[in-house]
């Protein structure tokens, strides 16, 4: 007989307020639940980039296969990778920390700076992982709502700062609202906050605005970039932070060694040589976003929010039909989008990743059917 154990007694005290993070859908789970085939599924719930051809990426991978030795650990300092990133972003390689997706570099910042007496300040609604990082360390998650037009309420944010507020995090463009915040407001926040200000630029490539070089002006600024959204590498897991060298030297030793795997270590410098290809793909996404925006706007039962990202936020206005039901109905025809209706300010909202024209036509047809348009 196996002895029964009460695992709750063993849990870290820090986890008492912990809420499970809901990531994008699991394909095998969705297939099983809805009796679908993998070919039937259109997954537009996690803001991945479906414009970069798989065959093109496989060719890039082939080009560096000779260098990759899976039996060896990656370079613990990732020097060549950081040098290529530094050149790409116009920085010094000592100003870059790389990691296993931007979630990983966020975790390094949290582990270094946050304890269970600390507060983290954000503007909601925003990327839900900031709460996850805060909660697992038992810190206080403090937030101010965006204004109704999704602009930043700078005064309220600064008035919320306490002596324990060590981090302020703003994503611009923001997920899930899709808008870019005014540069002047971000500047004001950085200049008037004594703690570390994290600017998450996960979607910056789609907005034409990046403040990454401000790390040379503000030594309390960390800028986060991910390769998951614009460079089509969500599965490889590559994220970076850009920050001044002095702060980088404090954070780097706290990161788990070998965070960037050997494949990413060689593939990233190879891909950064293909700037033109990526720029072309980013332009294609932006063009398709504008087309999808205009088509969604034609559906009367929807309110569509402008976007500077590769996704569009949409509010369902039809009486008797909520966002959750729309998502459920779409899944039955194999289309997975993200229900965001439980998020503050976003009642009845869903988030849709911009797909190819074929995907978008399919989505529009199903949406019209469900909404009776
Ligand atoms: C604003 C924002 N930051 C960071 C991430 C995480 O990116 P990564 O795949 O690099 O962990 C996401 C993913 O959705 C995001 O929306």
Q: Are residues 332 and 250 located together in one domain of the fold?
A: no
Q: Is the peptide bond before 109 cis (omega within 30 degrees of 0)?
A: no
Query: Please, are residues 233 and 227 in contact by the beta-carbon 8 Å criterion?
Result: yes
Q: Could you tell me the end-to-end alpha-carbon distance of the chain, in angstroms, rounded to an integer?
A: 60
What does the pLDDT average to over 99-108? 97
Which atom number of ligand 1 is nearest to the Cα of residue 203?
Answer: 1
pLDDT of residue 15: 87
pLDDT of residue 29: 83
Grouping H, G, I as helix, E, B as strand and the rest as coil, residue 254 is helix
Residue 65 maps to a domain: yes
Q: Would the CB of 288 count as within 6 Å of ligand 1?
A: no
What confidence score (pLDDT) does residue 365 get? 97
Domain-embedded: residue 4: no
pLDDT at 16 over 80: no
The pLDDT, as a whole number, for residue 318 is 86
Which CATH number fits the domain that encloses residue 125? 3.40.640.10
By the 10 Å C-beta count (0-12 exposed, 13-18 middle, 19+ buried), 280 is classed as exposed
User: Is there a domain that residue 130 lies in?
Assistant: yes
174 CB near ligand 1 (under 6 Å): no
Q: Torsion angle of alpha carbons 230, 215, 110, 238, nearest 10°?
A: 30
Mean pLDDT of 226-254: 97
In a domain, 222, yes or no: yes
Q: How many independent structural domains does the chain possess? A: 2
Residue 7 lies inside a defined structural domain of this protein: no
Are residues 189 and 67 located together in one domain of the fold? yes
* Domain closes at, from 212, 240, 273: 273
Cβ–ligand 1 contact at 49 (below 6 Å) = no
61 CB less than 6 Å from ligand 1?
no
- Same domain? 224 vs 289: no
Domain finish residue from 225, 257, 273: 273
Do 33 and 112 share a domain, yes or no? no
Q: Are residues 236 and 142 in the same domain?
A: yes
pTM of the model: 0.96
Give the C-alpha separation, 48 to 235, whole Å: 9
User: In the predicted model, is pLDDT for residue 119 greater than 90?
Assistant: yes
Q: Are residues 227 and 330 in the same domain?
A: no
**What is the arithmetic mean of pLDDT over 147-156?**
98
Q: What is the Cα–Cα distance from 222 to 169, expressed in whole angstroms?
A: 10
Q: Which of 218, 250, 273 is the last residue of a domain?
A: 273
CA distance 175 to 209: 15
Which residues on adjacent β-strands are paired with residue 43? 336
Residue 64: helix, strand or coil by DSSP? helix
| CA angle at 20 for the pair 146 and 339, rounded to the nearest 5° | 55
Cα(323)–Cα(335) distance, integer angstroms: 14
Question: How much is the mean pLDDT over the chain?
Answer: 95
- The atom of ligand 1 lying closest to the CA of 227 is 10
Tell whether the torsion through CA atoms of 313, 314, 320 and 324 is positive or negative.
negative
Structural domain of 199: 54-273
Pair (255, 134) in one structural domain: yes
Does residue 17 form part of some domain? Answer: no
pLDDT band at 331 (very low <50, low <70, confident <90, very high): very high
- Indicate whether 40 pLDDT > 90: no
Same domain? For 74 and 161 the reply is yes
Which atom of ligand 1 lies closest to the CA of 176? 16
- Give the pLDDT confidence score for residue 74 in this predicted structure: 97
Q: What is the pLDDT of residues 43-91, one digit of tens each?
A: 999 999 999 999 999 999 999 999 999 999 999 999 999 999 999 999 9
Q: Does the residue 236 lie in any domain?
A: yes
200 lines ligand 1 (CB under 6 A): yes
> Are residues 116 and 194 located together in one domain of the fold?
yes
Q: Does ligand 1 come within 6 angstroms of the Cβ of 101?
A: yes
C-alpha to C-alpha distance for 162 and 251, rounded to whole angstroms: 23
- What is the whole-number distance in angstroms between the Cα of residue 308 and the centre of ligand 1? 15
Q: How far apart are CA 348 and CA 340, in angstroms?
A: 7
With respect to residue 5, please indicate whether it lies within any of the assigned structural domains.
no
Indicate whether 209 and 325 sit together in one domain.
Answer: no
For a ligand 1 pocket test, name from 21, 97, 100, 102 the mutation site with the most ligand atoms within 8 angstroms of its C-beta: 102
Tell me the CATH number at 327.
3.90.1150.10
Determine the residue of 229, 259, 308, 310 to mutate for testing ligand 1's pocket, defined as the one with the most ligand atoms within 8 A of the Cβ atom.
Answer: 229
Q: What is the pLDDT of residue 285?
A: 98
202 lines ligand 1 (CB under 6 A): yes
Give mean pLDDT, residues 275-287.
97
- pLDDT-wise least confident of 24-28, 222-226, 248-252: 24-28
**Residue written as token pair 């944010």:** 157
Nearest-CA residue for atom 12 of ligand 1: 202
Residues 155, 248 within the same domain: yes
Q: pLDDT tens digits for 347-358?
A: 999 999 999 999
Given its phi and psi angles, is residue 239 left (phi above 0), alpha (psi -120 to 50 degrees) or beta? beta
| Domain identity same for 142 and 159 | yes
Q: What separation in Å is there between the alpha carbon of 179 and the centre of ligand 1?
A: 15
């Amino acid at each position: 007989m196996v002895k029964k154990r009460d695992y709750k007694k063993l849990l870290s005290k820090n986890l008492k307020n912990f809420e499970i993070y809901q990531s994008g859908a699991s394909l095998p789970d969705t297939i099983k639940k809805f009796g679908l085939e993998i070919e039937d599924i259109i997954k537009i719930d996690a803001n991945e980039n479906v414009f970069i051809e798989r065959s093109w990426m496989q060719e890039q991978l082939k080009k560096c296969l000779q260098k990759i030795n899976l039996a060896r650990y990656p370079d613990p300092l990732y020097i060549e990778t950081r040098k290529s990133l530094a050149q790409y972003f116009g920085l010094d390689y000592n100003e870059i920390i790389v990691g296993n997706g931007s979630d990983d570099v966020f975790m390094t910042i949290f582990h270094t700076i946050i304890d269970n007496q600390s507060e983290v300040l954000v503007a909601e609604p925003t990327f839900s992982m900031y709460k996850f990082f805060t909660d697992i360390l038992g810190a206080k998650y403090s937030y101010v709502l965006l204004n109704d037009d999704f602009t930043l309420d700078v005064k309220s944010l600064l008035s919320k700062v306490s002596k324990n507020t060590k981090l302020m995090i703003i994503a611009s463009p923001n997920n899930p609202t899709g808008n870019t915040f005014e540069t002047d407001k971000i500047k004001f926040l950085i200049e008037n906050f004594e703690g570390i200000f994290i600017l998450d630029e996960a979607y910056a490539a789609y907005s034409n605005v990046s403040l990454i070089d401000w790390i040379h002006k503000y030594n309390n600024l960390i800028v986060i970039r991910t390769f998951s959204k614009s460079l089509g590498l969500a599965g490889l897991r590559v994220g970076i932070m850009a920050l001044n060298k002095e702060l980088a030297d404090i954070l780097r030793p706290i990161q788990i060694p070998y965070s960037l795997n050997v494949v990413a270590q060689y593939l990233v410098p190879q891909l950064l040589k293909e700037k033109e290809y990526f720029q072309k793909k980013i332009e294609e996404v932006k063009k398709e976003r504008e087309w999808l925006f205009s088509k969604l706007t034609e559906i009367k039962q929807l309110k569509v929010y402008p976007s500077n990202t590769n996704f569009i936020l949409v509010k369902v206005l039809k009486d008797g039909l909520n966002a959750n039901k729309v998502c459920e109905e779409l899944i039955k025809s194999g289309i997975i989008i993200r229900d965001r209706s439980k998020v503050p300010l976003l009642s009845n909202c869903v988030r849709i990743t911009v797909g190819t024209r074929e995907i978008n036509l399919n989505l529009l047809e199903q949406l019209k059917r469900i909404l009776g348009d």
